[in-house]
Structure 1
């Protein structure tokens, strides 16, 4: 019996291979002072300065996201931080193979949002993905459902975005944050690891680490 796995679709495989190869060159695109310079920038300025930087989730992390979504079968997946769309491809592939659902993803950089949209069309997954351009604290405001959440944008904004979405998180909803090794994510980690805030949280040791938190 052949089982559907959109990650094995040649179009998806080709785009992931291309994007990961581009990500391998990220360090060569960054000026030596980028960490210091970025810390002093506003989010939109950071996004514009990093318009050519891929900053992807790892391949293992992507496959973990695929497996989680296949198991949970969320109706609406919300992603903070599209970049060039690597993580979005894993999310949308799982939604495709579930047979239902939709991905809402957000990006501050207009150049990245445009490039990602082209990638989604190339893979045939664009009908499952809505890209919202702008500050996620604005584009995710309102009543957009959130049945599974991936936080992989600027780390200092992960906590504000989570708190924006919290009223819409049903018990059992999973929230995943990437790059637990980054100091700028620490306020978020302190929050979801504090039982008083209503989460059961565990760190999954894949690449730079994923924090997987279940809304209680």
Structure 2
């Protein structure tokens, strides 16, 4: 019998359709952008209505990778409204094991994402860590079996370095929006063999880098 994925669940499909439609309006929303002297919290507050989502193709790539890797713990840096989290959580649900730990600074986005997780029936496999990921992930006690970096681009490398003691050999790390200039220090790091990764770019929309911890 052919088995469909949780992505085909009407509740999940409808939520993704709705959020991708909302995300298309991002260009019309005022946003000063990240960087400069803004703190991570100030950046989050400035972008409280901005989706900045992964692409549908990128989401399906994440789903496929998590299904194959079957991690006990998926760590996501940057929940936003939860589009990418739905792909990760769907894979965890279909694996029949594991959970997703996702981080977010914006209280408004956290509230919206939690409503979506409940509406889609995936809230039991998702834990939202509220606050600065450099603090909330510092207390992670178990290994991170799969990592998605999709928060502020200049924090990709600090978050990765924070998680490295919890990355077993073979762990996959996916970084979104790798065409952004602010991701260059991260890419230089994971593409340097001396740092212990085998890394390959995927040409999905704004780019996804898949790195395997050696």
Please give the range of the TM-score, normalised by the shorter of the 2 chains: over 0.9
Counterpart of 1:56?
A: 53
TM-score (norm 1): 0.96
Structure 2: runs of 5+ lacking an equivalent: none
Which residue of 168, 190, 193 corresponds with 1:192?
190
TM-score (norm 2): 0.97
Tell me the number of residue pairs that the alignment of Structure 1 and Structure 2 aligns.
213
Pairwise CA distance, 1:103: 0.2
Are 2:192 and 1:204 equivalent residues in the alignment?
Answer: no
Pairwise CA distance, 1:8: 0.2
Pairwise CA distance, 1:45: 0.1
2:206 alignment partner, SS class: coil
Pairwise CA distance, 1:21: 0.4
Pairwise CA distance, 1:38: 4.4
Please identify runs of 4+ aligned residues in structure 1 that moved more than 4 A: none
Counterpart of 2:87?
A: 90
- Structure 1 CA distance, aligned partners of 2:158 and 2:54? 21
Counterpart of 2:7?
A: 7
2:66 alignment partner, SS class: helix
Counterpart of 2:20?
A: 20
Are 2:88 and 1:118 equivalent residues in the alignment?
Answer: no
- Structure 2 CA distance, aligned partners of 1:175 and 1:200? 10
RMSD, aligned α-carbons: 1.0
